[in-house]
Structure 1
Amino acid sequence: MDEAGNPKLFRKKSDALKAARDAESDVRNGRHRDPKLGHETFAEYANRWYGELELAPSTMQNYKHHIEEHLLPHFGDLTLKQIDKSEVQKWMLAEKAAKYAVSSIKTWRSTLHVMLVDAMDEGLITSNPTEQKRGRGRRAGRSSRRTPEKAITSALGALLVAERTSLLSGRDDEFVLTVSTAYTGMRWGEIVGLEPEYVRPSAIRIEHQLYELDSGKLDRCPPKEDSYRTLGIPPWHSRLLTEFRQSRTLKACDCHGRKYFFSGYGIPNGQSAGGVTLKDVAARSGVSTGTVSNVLNRPERVADATRHRVIDAMAELGYQRGEATGDAAAHHRRSGFATWLFHPAATGWYPAKAPQPRRPVPVLAEPWPGVPARGRGAESRAEASWVPVARKLTPHGLRHLHKTVMEDLGTPPKLMDERMGHLDGSVQARYSHITDGMRQRLMDGLTDVWEQSLDARLALHDRSPVPILDRLLVERAAGVATVPQLRAVGA
């Protein structure tokens, strides 16, 4: 049989016998492949390929998204042998025309590349059309692949953002979380998944992370790339964490049955005081959560039959609408924290959310730096708004800040990689080692950076409406030692 699945014809008997012997040899050595397999569609192959994977839930989720949202719409009906370089190029141009970021398209292409490498290993195709020689087909070489540098801020900027997140939430939790991110470089999943037992007097141990899946559930899993590590913390940071922990009564979450160092803010999104969510109501009534929200807030926009069906579902499930009780959700959500706390704190602007446009954070001028005005008519009662600290700063930007601070302090690369959870497989890295002296110099350097940021904040104003920061400023101004010996945080 040829590659199209048709019988092969030979002009000589000897040629046919030789082909038969070669085929028998391929069978004995495991090289034989059914020619028809190469003609299965990409959709068929993708279902089979994905079904055989056994990877972390986060990776499985990402692959599923890449395949279903970006690969199947273009390649799904094509056979594997029909996917060539021109088809891949056509797909990339279509994605660019749809205004997707170049970096995102590159990620989806990498997933396609991995899939087709496995198809080659199965003998389904003879070459991988996603292979691209360096610089080939690019107008400007490397420059066309460069993305904007991640926005960071200064140590003072991180302190101001931490203060503002706390003012927006009305509690100290977000101040401690933001400062801890800036001075440890922890990933978002690691700091949200931090358990009290791993916060010790002089170090934080990274054993788990909470990865947010598309379903809304948080998967408790190992840290990224198994980057288990111990992060040293200076005495001032230890005291900050200890006093924060001693002022909180932690409750086990319903999803994992475990206590976490940082809790979320307010009741879970879309949830009533009784625990029934908008998503539960939507599933019961067979509509979207947006429709349920419209029934609650803009009923005139919903058809009578649909509105009655949603109302009946609320009654059956016991959904009770009410104001947030102030009880903390079990965990922060990445998008909620970034959108409604961190972004307004860093930029001074709330993002657009229909029907409201993007707008400045309305604040009362006193006490400094301004307390957000809340409730109906907040804009009319506001006396000022915040100026930006760093316009494009994100929570992940604080991780970049930590690496930059370590570079500025002259921290050895081996220690920086350990702290960031990175792995350097070079020969140079294998021959360098971390000493106690290196660690102590880093702790001393981080202490200097922290104290300089407090001094800079004091120069702006000597008090703060955030209780935990106000105490630190008063102590700093009075020259009081802020590093007494403390017992273990998780005790």
Structure 2
Amino acid sequence: MPYTEKRGTKWRVRWDAGRIHPDTGKKVYDSQSGFDTKAEAYAYGLDRESDVRNDRYISRRDGSVLMKDYARDWLDGIDVGHLRERQCRSMSRLYIVPRWGEVAVGDIKPSQYRAWEKDLRARPNIGDDYAREILGLFAMMMEDAVEDELRKASPVSHKRRRGKYKKKPREKKLDMRVEDVHQLSLNALTFWGFPGYVFVWTMAMTGMRPAELYALRKEFCHPAWPTADPDEERREESLERYRGGEEPMPAIRVQHQHQWKDSVLTLLPPKYDSYRTLVIPPFLAELLDALCASHESEWVFPSINGGPLAKANFTYHYWRKIADGQEPREQRRGGWRPLPGWPAVKTYAGKRLYLLRHGHKEWLDEGGARRVAVEARMGHELPGVEGVYSNVTSAMEREIMDALQARWLRFVVTLGTDWLPTSPNPLPVDLSTWMKTQITAAEKVLPRTGS
């Protein structure tokens, strides 16, 4: 039964918390003070003992754990990929702890959470997707706090949607035209050199994620792969599949992505562990062959200064200049190198590099590629029974390779034979002559239609 006592002008109540202290072996009691009458204090104690008997009780000692301490311990216990963990810690440090850090886990009220959610979504520097990520992380913390017996229930309600309906905005995208990719590649050639020209075409023709392209090593790229694959079992299987037969299929192996981990540039598994092999059209195989033979770097796409591309802020220092255009500039003493300038590509000016990956899927869909082959190529998994029973065959891969090559041929047949590339440095290959051979090959297969 609860025990009440007078403290000054108020009453205090103590009750059995239903636990035994691990060190002393004695019962653990909780208490609450501040009641005006003995009856109020006694009734409160009876309610708490009822909660104990019905397994609803949360100890005040447990519930008083501060959110900043709980968030720290919770983050130390999650088992996710490096990038996801870094993102979770960042969201907790920037948004969750500043608002809830000094609040006890058991004291967070649903009404307080809803006010915070509304404020978070209204901030101009937080987009809808990022706000959803922050709120989702907080919801997981609260659900685990219930399991840890720090709360009776989560303050985040999933029973019904509150507030007015707001349609999720979708990014406006235009069709990815080969002509635009061609102009991007020329801009990259002028600014970056031959690696930039091949980089743009590789992303458009493979849909690889940017960090996967940064980390592409020669041993995992055509022409070295699969012969140079360090995994013996995979090497033998890949040689038979991609090099065997009368018509080999050139391919790239996506084995790594480049990310910063503990301030060190590190080779990590691809996102979602999406290791995969990507067949490439013959024209791109020729470009990669020439590129890999043109430099001594271990990376297929070295930066302008020859180092790892991931060390540069690629979006700012490379992509924005390639997509947005550049005015001609002269040599500055101890500064910039001279550049002739190049036009902006309207479809991609101010837009994300990632749209080239999106556009690759459009090309696959337009080419009639099978869904299982498309999703596997993009590094995704098909859900449910369809994913369990599906398999990407070599015939499906050949269809993709042929469709991409046909798209290239339909484009180059429209180019004039007087095409001349512009590059800040001498090119390792005669790109103009190579393009003329591509045009000649296209004319043998396709008529010059101008379309």
Provide TM-score, normalisation by structure 2: 0.73
Structure 1 residues 197, 139: CA separation in 2 closer, same or farther (over 3 Å shift)? Answer: same
- The higher-RCO structure (CA 8 Å, 6+ apart) is 1
Structure 1 residues 479, 415: CA separation in 2 closer, same or farther (over 3 Å shift)? Answer: closer
Do the aligned residues in 2 keep the contact of 1:151 with 1:394 (CA within 8 Å)?
A: no
**Bigger radius of gyration:** 2
SS at the partner of 1:6? strand
Q: How does 1:158-307 map to 2 (within 5 A)?
A: 158-169=181-192, 171-201=193-223, 202-213=250-261, 216-250=263-297, 259-266=298-305
What is aligned with 2:63?
38
Q: Matched residues, percent identical?
A: 21
Q: How does 1:24-423 map to 2 (within 5 A)?
A: 34-99=59-124, 100-133=126-159, 136-141=161-166, 143=167, 145-150=168-173, 153-169=176-192, 171-201=193-223, 202-213=250-261, 216-250=263-297, 259-266=298-305, 328-333=306-311, 336-348=313-325, 361-363=326-328, 373-375=330-332, 386-390=343-347, 391-423=349-381
Offset of 1:437 from its aligned partner?
Answer: 2.2
What is aligned with 1:452?
410
SS at the partner of 1:395? coil
Structure 1, 473-482 or 216-225: larger mean CA deviation? 473-482
Alignment partner of 1:434 is 2:412: no
Offset of 1:183 from its aligned partner?
Answer: 0.7
Do the aligned residues in 2 keep the contact of 1:159 with 1:453 (CA within 8 Å)?
A: no
The letter for the 1-side match of 2:277 is T
Distance 1:19 1:106 in 2: 34
Structure 1 residues 11, 232: CA separation in 2 closer, same or farther (over 3 Å shift)? Answer: closer
Q: What do residues 62-99 of structure 1 show as CA deviations (whole Å, max 9, x unaligned)?
A: 11110011111111111112323322222233334431
Do the aligned residues in 2 keep the contact of 1:152 with 1:393 (CA within 8 Å)?
A: no
The letter for the 2-side match of 1:263 is P
The letter for the 2-side match of 1:196 is K
Do the aligned residues in 2 keep the contact of 1:37 with 1:124 (CA within 8 Å)?
A: yes
What is aligned with 1:324?
none
Do the aligned residues in 1 keep the contact of 2:204 with 2:356 (CA within 8 Å)?
A: yes
Q: What do residues 6-41 of structure 1 show as CA deviations (whole Å, max 9, x unaligned)?
A: 27968999x97x988x59xx7xxxx99754212211
Structure 2: unaligned runs, 5 residues or longer: 1-15, 19-28, 33-40, 224-249, 445-451
Larger strand proportion of the pair: 2
Offset of 1:386 from its aligned partner?
Answer: 1.7
Do the aligned residues in 2 keep the contact of 1:194 with 1:260 (CA within 8 Å)?
A: yes
Structure 1 residues 475, 5: CA separation in 2 closer, same or farther (over 3 Å shift)? Answer: farther
SS at the partner of 1:123? coil
SS at the partner of 2:302? coil
Offset of 1:189 from its aligned partner?
Answer: 1.5
Structure 1 residues 138, 409: CA separation in 2 closer, same or farther (over 3 Å shift)? Answer: farther
Offset of 1:422 from its aligned partner?
Answer: 0.3
Offset of 1:388 from its aligned partner?
Answer: 3.1
Do the aligned residues in 1 keep the contact of 2:255 with 2:270 (CA within 8 Å)?
A: yes
SS at the partner of 1:424? coil
Provide TM-score, normalisation by structure 1: 0.68
Distance 1:158 1:232 in 2: 19
Distance 1:127 1:418 in 2: 40
SS at the partner of 2:196? helix
Structure 1 residues 115, 12: CA separation in 2 closer, same or farther (over 3 Å shift)? Answer: closer
Structure 1 residues 455, 51: CA separation in 2 closer, same or farther (over 3 Å shift)? Answer: same
SS at the partner of 1:106? helix
Structure 1 residues 478, 373: CA separation in 2 closer, same or farther (over 3 Å shift)? Answer: farther
SS at the partner of 1:362? coil
Do the aligned residues in 2 keep the contact of 1:41 with 1:78 (CA within 8 Å)?
A: yes
Once superposed, what is the RMSD of the aligned Cα atoms? 3.5
SS at the partner of 1:159? helix
Q: What do residues 343-365 of structure 1 show as CA deviations (whole Å, max 9, x unaligned)?
A: 222222xxxxxxxxxxxx213xx
Instruction: Provide runs of 4+ in structure 1 moved above 6 Å.
Output: 10-13, 381-384
Distance 2:332 2:375 in 1: 46
Do the aligned residues in 2 keep the contact of 1:152 with 1:397 (CA within 8 Å)?
A: no
The letter for the 1-side match of 2:434 is L
Structure 1 residues 12, 154: CA separation in 2 closer, same or farther (over 3 Å shift)? Answer: closer
Q: How does 1:452-491 map to 2 (within 5 A)?
A: 452-456=410-414, 458-459=415-416, 462-466=419-423, 467=427, 469-479=431-441
Q: What do residues 117-167 of structure 1 show as CA deviations (whole Å, max 9, x unaligned)?
A: 221221212222233446x224234x1x23324566312211211210221
Distance 1:205 1:410 in 2: 23
Q: What do residues 365-408 of structure 1 show as CA deviations (whole Å, max 9, x unaligned)?
A: xxxxxxx65547x99x9997624332243221111011111011
Distance 1:382 1:172 in 2: 15
What is aligned with 2:245?
none
Structure 1 residues 417, 374: CA separation in 2 closer, same or farther (over 3 Å shift)? Answer: farther
SS at the partner of 2:31? coil
Structure 1 residues 374, 104: CA separation in 2 closer, same or farther (over 3 Å shift)? Answer: farther
